[in-house]
Amino acid sequence: MAALKDIVAKRFLDDILGSVCKPGQWKVLVLDHLSTRIMSACCKMQDVMTKGVTLVESLDKSRQPLAHMEAIYILVPSEKTVAKLIGDFEGAPTYKTAHVFFLEKCSTSLFSKLGSSKAAKSGFKLLSYHSARLFLCISIYFVVQ
C-alpha cells in the first residue's frame, strides 16, 4: 500500500509536471506558500529537476522576467494568488506562457476574474484543477481537508 506522501508526490511529479514537461524543454515552476509546503514535504528537488524544471520560484517574492520560458504555476486559488498570476501577464509578461494548476476548486468569481483578464487571452496554455488540498502538520502526518 502506497503512503500518502508517495501518492501526493506522484500527483505532483507525474500528473502535473509530467503532463506539461517534455524532454529537452525546461520550464520554471512557480508555487504559492501552501503548494511549496506540500511539494517540499513530498518531493525531492532532484525529482522535480528530472521532470524538466530548471528553476523553482515563489509567487510571493519578486521574480525576474524570463519571457523566453514557459512557467508551471501550482496554486491554491485565492484573491491574492489569482491577482499575482494575472499581474505576471499584464504589461511585459514575466513568462512566455503559463500552465496553471489549482490545488482546489476555483470559485466562480475568481474564475470569471481570471477568464476576463489579458493573461487568459494571451498567456495561458493550460488551466487545470487537481484536488490535493493537504496541510502538513509534522513531516510524517498530514491532515486532509
Answer left, alpha or beta for residue 126, where phi above 0 means left and psi between -120 and 50 means alpha.
beta
pLDDT of residue 121: 76
Residue 101 structural domain: 4-59+69-136
Overall domain count for the chain: 1
pLDDT at 10 over 90: no
pLDDT at 140 over 50: no
Establish if 145 belongs to a structural domain. no
User: For 79-117, how does the pLDDT look when each residue is reduced to its tens digit (9 = 90+)?
Assistant: 999 999 999 998 889 999 999 998 888 888 998 898 888
Establish if 141 belongs to a structural domain. no
Establish if 142 belongs to a structural domain. no
Quick count: other Cβ atoms within 10 Å of Cβ 67?
9
Alpha-carbon span 95 to 7, nearest angstrom: 30
Establish if 131 belongs to a structural domain. yes
Alpha-carbon span 20 to 31, nearest angstrom: 16
pLDDT band (50, 70, 90) for residue 130: low
Establish if 30 belongs to a structural domain. yes
Residues in the chain: 145
Q: Domain with 98 in it: what CATH number?
A: 3.40.50.2060
Establish if 44 belongs to a structural domain. yes
